[in-house]
Copies of this chain bind each other. A is one copy, B any other.
Amino acid sequence: MAALVSYSVAKKNNDKAPVNSPTQVIGGHGNNSYSNNSSYQRLAANFVTNKIEDTIMMKLDVESLSSASNIIRLADFGCGVGSNTINAMQDLLEIVKKKYMSQRPTSQVPEFQLIFNDQFTNDFNSLFTCLPQEKEYFVAGVPGSFHEQVLPKSSLHLGHCSYSLHWLSKLPTELEDEHSPAWNKGRIHYTSAPQEVLNAYATRFAEDLNYFLNARAQEIVSGGMMVIIGSSIPDGMPYSQVANGLMYNCMGSILMDMVKTGSISEADVDAFNLPIYACPPGEFTEGVERNGMFTVEVIELMNPAPWLKGPIDIPVFVKHVRAAMEGMFSKHFSREAIDELFNQLVPKLSEISGQMESCYRDGLQLFAILKRK
């Protein structure tokens, strides 16, 4: 099940929303909050820690990180809320420290600063209250879109970005243009859509990735590294062959049913598209090489959480999906419409759970480590 969720339940939407818009994930610590409904993400994160350690131990040269003041700064871009980001960053800190001490055994342990970045609308208050009271590092919260530079030049040594890059900064305008071949009428995603729709999404993603890499290239010192984890799919595979694609189709069809009963208007559905793109590894590598500021040290497709097999627990799954995606829907639909959508999603997905389980489920998580040239 986690194999399905860990790439479908994204952490937050990094679009450039107005400052006062609601955050995409549900903040605080309530029943529907992201922080209480993100255990799948934590499991997936644990699994990659060993892979990060292998690469850092082999490929990071701590000499290149040393500053006069002996500080190592680590940043999580698109951190969201809850303990997942804190745990991931603490793990990364331990790995870097281990490498540092192995390479410079007689040196003083450097000071570490963990930087948590997300949109201005992120619930930093909740995030800060999750931090342990006793800790061996300094902390900073940095608000701002990660598609722009948010830290001073050459001030960062290691970056981390987990399940955030697949959120598009904005939707391609042609999806809503009835005169365009990419008009996405009656659907809410590129799953099962014409090639033009997929191309519009892919082009937007490539631009976002370039903005992201340019910003990080300013911030990260030469020799510094960037860990990227996120939604992916094998090159050339249609999104309708993975379970999330089936779910997006299912959401679209529930919304169209709601149009028929008059709960929402057809124009509302036509104007709504999920700003989510799962970039295949080939495209990702091309994007990094075209940008030119980083080398790709590692890139592979992983199983998000291969030890979690068996039947899908649909109600739990939907709760996770809702915690991550509700903010996105709430910009377009009423509270009642969203309740109806998620209430209907449980039985609808239960009907096709067999089909979802038999989908392609391996290798849907991109794992990449880049090094600043």
Question: How distant is A30 from chain B, measured CB to nearest CB, in Å?
Answer: 15
Question: How far, in angstroms, from A241 to B333 measured CA to CA in the complex?
Answer: 61
Q: Is A120 an interface residue (CB 8 A)?
A: yes
Contact of A111 among B19, B120, B142, B153 (CB under 8 A): B153
User: Does B68 contact A152, Cβ atoms closer than 8 Å?
Assistant: no
Q: Are A152 and B115 in contact (CB under 8 A)?
A: no
Which residue of chain B has the shortest Cβ distance to A67 in the bound complex? B68
A293 within 8 A of B: no
Q: Which of A125-133, A278-286, A294-302 contacts B (4 or more CB under 8 A)?
A: A125-133
Proximity string of chain A (37-81) to chain B, C-beta cutoff 8 Å, 1 when within and 0 when not: 000000000000000000000000000000111110100000000
- Interface status of A154 (Cβ within 8 A of chain B): yes
Contacts of A120 in B (CB 8 A): 128-129, 131
Point out the residues of chain B lying under 8 angstroms from A141, CB to CB: 124, 140-143
Q: State whether the Cβ of A192 lies closer than 8 Å to any Cβ in chain B.
A: no
Q: Which residue of B lies closest to A124 (CB)?
A: B124
Say whether A124 contacts B115, CB under 8 Å. Answer: no
Q: Closest residue of chain B to A112, judged by CB?
A: B152
Which residues of chain B are within 8 angstroms of A150 by Cβ–Cβ distance? Answer: 138
- Known contacts A71-B152, A120-B128, A138-B150; 8 additional CB pairs below 8 A are A19-B129, A70-B153, A71-B155, A111-B152, A120-B129, A124-B124, A124-B128, A124-B141
Assembly CA distance A314 to B144 (angstroms): 41
A138 is contacted by which of B19, B133, B142, B154 (Cβ under 8 Å)? B142
Q: How far is the CA of A274 from the CA of B173 in the complex (A)?
A: 58
From A115, which residue of chain B is reached at the shortest CB distance? Answer: B140
Chain A positions within 8 Å of B, measured between CB atoms, are 19-20, 67-71, 73, 111, 113, 115, 120-121, 123-125, 128-129, 131, 133, 138-144, 149-155
Give the complex CA separation of A67 and B153 in angstroms: 11
Question: Least Cβ distance of A280 to chain B in Å?
Answer: 34
Could you tell me the distance in whole angstroms from the C-beta of A66 to the nearest C-beta in chain B? 11
| C-alpha spacing A152/B109, complex, angstroms | 13
Residue pair B154, A69 in contact (C-beta under 8 Å): yes
- Rounded to whole angstroms, the CA-CA distance of A149 and B140 in the bound complex is 13
Closest to A70 in B: B153
A73: chain B residues within 8 A (beta carbon): 152
| Distance A153 CA – B113 CA, assembled complex (angstroms) | 11
Q: List 7 A-B contacts (CB under 8 A).
A: A68-B68, A69-B154, A71-B152, A71-B153, A125-B125, A131-B143, A140-B140
Shortest Cβ distance from A151 into B: residue: B138
Q: In the complex, A128 Cα to B125 Cα: how many Å? A: 11
Contact of A133 among B19, B142, B153 (CB under 8 A): B19
Q: Which chain B residues border A67 with CB–CB below 8 Å?
A: 68
